[in-house]
Amino acid sequence: MASQAVRPPDGASPIVHQPPEFTGITNRRKIMKRILIVLASIAAFVLPMLAFAPAAQAQMPTGVVTNGMAWVPNPNAVPNATDPPYCTLGLVGTDSSGNKIAISARHCVEAKGMYFDGAPVYRWLANGTAGAQFGTIAHRSSGTHLGGYGTDWVVIKLNADADLFSNGPGARIDGIGNPPAFPQVLCKDGVTTGVKCGVVTGTSPGRIASIAFALGGDSGGPAWIDTNYGKIVGLVRGPGEFISIHAVLSEINSGTNPVGKGLVVTNN
């Protein structure tokens, strides 16, 4: 429809009546213009912020994992001088499937709360807090004999990028030693008490008795005979009591879970 001019009184400007279609188009254009102004204002505010926003945090590499390292299954663990929340790794190595693994004591994942297979494990830092995850619980000894935890071992499947080293903070572990006997001297390393040695006073299936000193937090740490340094024979279980590494490996190799089978201790 064409616009129509209305004749005004003499001397006045003509009055033009726009058709309804033209008025609607004009209103929509005004609305769109306002929307564009608002969007431009938002962009002017947000884009500079995006330009300086940090990139997404990349996962940190696992780093070095060794025997003697402190670890916890609880990421919210807190320091406790009389009952430490951490345990000690006994050894690191690679199994026949190429998995990087560590071995420690089963009671470390049950005595202070139940942590099931597949649960993550974390470093325990010198400042008394849990650090980065370095692996997951693969499987553990079965049964309730020998003090409630069976032979008392746990296999930890380490992150694939973990760097394994033989030299730990207090000892070197690079192989498996012969079963000990009285009166050999057994030495052990643990996060709480460090390296301590004492005479082997006896052995029994799955266990080694020695007066080598140990306390809470040392659990799972490596033990060796002083004249055969570097060759692990056991894991710390508690004061005067050690877990035979030969019993541990025998159960792992005869079990149904492939993780840990055919273990070769890291030697570098």
Tens of pLDDT, residue by residue over 125-148, are 999 999 999 999 999 999 988 888
pLDDT band at 24 (very low <50, low <70, confident <90, very high): low
Rounded to two decimals, the pTM is 0.79
Q: Answer yes or no: is pLDDT of 1 > 70.
A: no
- Asked if residues 170 and 128 have their Cβ atoms less than 8 Å apart, the reply is no
Q: Answer yes or no: is pLDDT of 208 > 70.
A: yes
Burial class (CB in 10 A: 0-12, 13-18, 19+), 160: exposed
The distance from CA 210 to its chain's CA centroid, rounded to whole angstroms, is 32
pLDDT of residue 59: 72
pLDDT averaged over every residue in the chain? 88
Residues β-bridged to residue 225:
186
Question: Region 69-96: what's the mean pLDDT?
Answer: 97
Question: Region 165-173: what's the mean pLDDT?
Answer: 98
pLDDT band at 40 (very low <50, low <70, confident <90, very high): low
